[in-house]
Amino acid sequence: MVEDAQVLPVTPKAQQRGPRPASRLRLIFAKLARTPRFWVGTLTLLVIVLWALFGLAFYNFNAVSQDVMSMNTGPTGKHWFGTDEIGGDIYAQTVVGLRKSLLIGFVVGPVSALLAGFIGALAGYLGGVWDRVIVWFIDLLLVLPALYILIMLYPLIKGGSWVIVMVYLAIFSWMILARVIRAQTSSLRDRDFVKAARFMGVKTSTIIRRHIIPNVSSLLIIDATLGVGAAILTETTLSYFGFGVQPPDVSLGTLLSSGTGAATTRPWLFVFPAAILVITVLATSLAGDALRDAVDPTSGANRD
């Protein structure tokens, strides 16, 4: 009599292989979810952006309103941040100025990161003469005094649109990251997947777009995030000294410039725009710093 054979349970293939390893993107999100700095910075920045967009939706004054019956008054229920010497509402001007500064920051940061990624990847991938020419151009822009160039060009751009300031900031904000991307690309150029694509006749632009840029995307994302705060601060500094946004346009820098002289006698003219600037730059710095630590754990693994 033949004994019944023992029937073993069939294990699904997914269980036989074990749990799938988490992707790098999931690991980054998991790290960010455990980082208080990321949530504080991101939520604060989100509130600031929403306030800049909708802060005047139910307010009775705008940036050009003049209340001649309430000139040089402090914060009240009617004028939340007070008024200036001609009755202009500081709250409305701050919201509009913040809107302009955020727009410049959110454009300059990503655009400069994209320029750095493309030019740096092109130099590192091509190598040879092209690499030397591009690096020479990058070094030339690095040694040029950007502020002095702006001062010399100021008579030509005075009275022009604030878009000129935005373009200027983007042109002089990408060089350092481009050198980093170039070094990363030089090491990626000799990897097997890049060699295989080159031997298959794939175009240079396609290789850079499909194989190089995705491998340095973490650096570009970090630089774009941190570049938003840096661009806002740079634009504010230029506008403060009269080389940035020009009246009748309003930015945080123009508000700080006009309120500096009255910082002790009428502090509301200076304190509110300055506080908004500090909070905005600090929020972007916290979010960018947390993102950098999540992408590169060796940059600050034990901070939180």
What per-residue confidence (pLDDT) applies to 158?
Answer: 67
Three-state SS across 97-115?
A: HHHHHHHHHHHHHHHHHHH
Q: Is residue 304 part of a domain?
A: no
In 3D space, the residue among 86, 66, 237, 242 whose CA is nearest the CA of residue 151 turns out to be 242
Q: Is the pLDDT of residue 160 over 70?
A: no
Q: What is the DSSP letter of 300?
A: S
Task: Quickly state the pLDDT bin for 301 (edges 50, 70, 90).
Answer: very low
What per-residue confidence (pLDDT) applies to 278?
Answer: 93
What per-residue confidence (pLDDT) applies to 159?
Answer: 62
Q: Is the pLDDT of residue 230 over 60?
A: yes
Q: Is residue 242 part of a domain?
A: yes
Q: Is the pLDDT of residue 300 over 80?
A: no
Give the whole-angstrom CA distance, residue 250 versus residue 276: 14
Assigned token pair, 193 = 């997947």
- Write the pLDDT tens digit of every residue in 233-283: 888 888 888 777 777 788 888 889 888 888 888 899 999 999 999 999 999
What per-residue confidence (pLDDT) applies to 277?
Answer: 93
Q: Is residue 143 part of a domain?
A: yes
Q: Is residue 50 part of a domain?
A: yes
Domain count, the chain: 1
Give the whole-angstrom CA distance, residue 255 versus residue 234: 15
Q: What is the DSSP letter of 4?
A: P
Q: What is the DSSP letter of 73?
A: -
Q: Is residue 72 part of a domain?
A: no
- Write the pLDDT tens digit of every residue in 47-101: 999 999 999 988 888 888 888 888 888 898 888 998 988 888 999 999 999 999 9
Q: Average pLDDT, stretch 214-231?
A: 85
Task: Quickly state the pLDDT bin for 302 (edges 50, 70, 90).
Answer: very low
Q: Is residue 64 part of a domain?
A: no
Task: Quickly state the pLDDT bin for 13 (edges 50, 70, 90).
Answer: very low
- Write the pLDDT tens digit of every residue in 20-34: 545 667 777 788 888
Are 90 and 272 contacting, i.e. CB atoms less than 8 angstroms apart?
A: yes
Q: Is residue 2 part of a domain?
A: no
Q: Is residue 130 part of a domain?
A: yes
Query: What domain range includes position 214?
Result: 34-54+79-297
CATH number at residue 177: 1.10.3720.10
> CA end-to-end span of the chain, whole Å?
69
